[in-house]
C-alpha cells in the first residue's frame, strides 16, 4: 500500500509500525505528499521508507499523473490517505476505484471537509467520532467501512477532543485495513 499524507503523519506511523510488526499483512511501497515540508515525510524517510513529494505546484493533473506513475511502478494495490489534504480528481478515483481508503475525524456523513473535529465541536454535538471509508468521486462520501464514536464530556476542550479522536484513529485504521486486505487479497 502507498500512504499519502500532508502533515505530521501519526496515522502513517501507526500503519508503518503495524506492517513492521506483522499486525498488518502489507508493505508500505512509498509515503507520498503534496507538501515537501510535511513532517511525516522526514519521519518515514528516517525509517528507510521511500518518500516522494508530488508536484501539485504544477497543477493537479501533473501531480496525479506522477502519483499514478509511482503507484503503477511500485505495483501498489492500495492507496491509503492519512491526512492527505487534496481532493483527488474523479478521473484518478475512477482509475483506482475501490482501492483508495481514507480516514476522517467525524462520524460521516456529519461534518465532512477539512475541519471535522472543530466543526463538530463548534456545533456542540455530544457524540462525534472517526470514520474509515472508501474514496469515491465526492468529498468524504464513499462507502463507510468502519466507524467509532467518541463522546464529548463536560470537561473536554477542543484539544482534549482532538487527542481522543487521534487515539481512536490510530487503532481503527489498522484494524479496518487488516479486514479490508484479508477480504480483498492482492491478485
Among 92, 58, 69, 22, CA closest to 32: 69
Q: Is 166 a catalytic residue?
A: no
Closer residue to ligand GRF in complex, CB, 12/79: 12
Identify the DSSP state of 4: E
How far apart are the C-alpha atoms of 108 and 102, rounded to whole Å?
Answer: 12
Segment near ligand GRF (CB under 6 A); pick from 45-53, 66-74, 103-111, 178-186 = 103-111
Give the nearer residue to ligand GRF in terms of CB position, either 167 or 186. 167
Partners of residue 133 on adjacent β-strands: 102, 144
Task: Tell me which residue has cell 501507526.
Answer: 14
Beta carbon of residue 136, minimum distance to ligand GRF (angstroms, whole number): 16
Positive/negative CA dihedral, 76, 1, 102, 182: positive
Q: Taking the complex as a whole, how short is the minimal distance between the CB of residue 88 and ligand GRF, in angstroms?
A: 13
Three cell numbers written together for 90 = 474523479
Half-sphere CA count of 163, side-chain side, radius 13 A:
5
User: 168: which 3 cell numbers?
Assistant: 481512536
**129 near ligand GRF (CB under 6 A):** no
Closest distance to ligand GRF from the beta carbon of 27 (Å) = 19
10 scored as a contact of ligand GRF (CB under 6 A): yes
Measured from each CB, the residue nearest to ligand GRF is: 83
Nearest to 129 by CA among 177, 179, 153, 164: 164
Assess 82 for contact with ligand GRF (CB under 6 A). yes
Query: Is residue 32 a contact residue for ligand GRF (CB under 6 A)?
Result: no
Cβ closest to ligand GRF, residue 26 vs residue 44: 44
Cell of 126: 455530544
100 near ligand GRF (CB under 6 A): no
Catalytic residue among 104, 115, 133, 170: 104
For residue 93, report the phi and psi dihedrals to the nearest 5 degrees: -60, -40
Can residue 105 be called a binding residue for ligand GRF (CB under 6 A)?
yes
Q: Is 128 in the site for ligand GRF (CB under 6 A)?
A: no
Contact residues for ligand GRF, defined by CB under 6 A: 5, 7-12, 40, 82-83, 103-105, 169
The catalytic residues are 104
Amino acid at each position: 500500500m502507498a500512504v499519502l499524507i500532508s502533515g505530521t503523519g501519526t496515522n502513517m506511523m501507526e500503519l508503518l509500525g503495524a506492517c513492521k510488526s506483522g499486525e498488518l499483512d502489507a508493505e508500505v511501497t512509498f509515503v507520498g505528499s503534496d507538501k515537501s515540508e510535511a513532517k511525516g515525510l522526514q519521519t518515514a524517510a528516517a525509517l528507510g521508507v521511500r518518500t516522494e513529494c508530488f508536484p501539485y505546484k504544477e497543477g493537479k493533473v501533473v501531480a496525479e499523473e506522477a502519483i499514478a506513475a509511482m503507484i503503477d511502478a511500485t505495483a501498489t494495490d492500495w492507496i491509503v490517505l492519512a491526512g492527505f489534504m487534496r481532493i483527488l480528481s474523479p478521473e484518478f478515483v475512477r482509475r483506482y476505484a475501490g482501492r483508495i481508503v481514507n480516514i476522517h475525524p467525524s462520524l460521516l456523513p456529519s461534518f465532512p471537509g477539512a475541519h471535522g473535529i472543530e466543526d463538530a465541536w463548534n456545533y456542540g454535538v455530544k457524540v462525534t467520532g472517526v470514520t474509515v471509508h472508501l474514496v469515491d468521486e465526492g468529498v468524504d462520501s464513499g462507502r463507510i467501512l468502519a466507524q467509532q464514536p467518541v463522546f464529548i464530556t463536560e470537561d473536554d476542550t477542543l484539544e482534549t477532543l482532538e487527542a481522543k479522536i487521534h487515539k481512536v484513529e490510530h487503532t481503527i485504521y489498522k484494524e479496518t485495513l487488516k479486514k479490508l486486505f484479508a477480504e480483498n487479497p492482492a491478485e
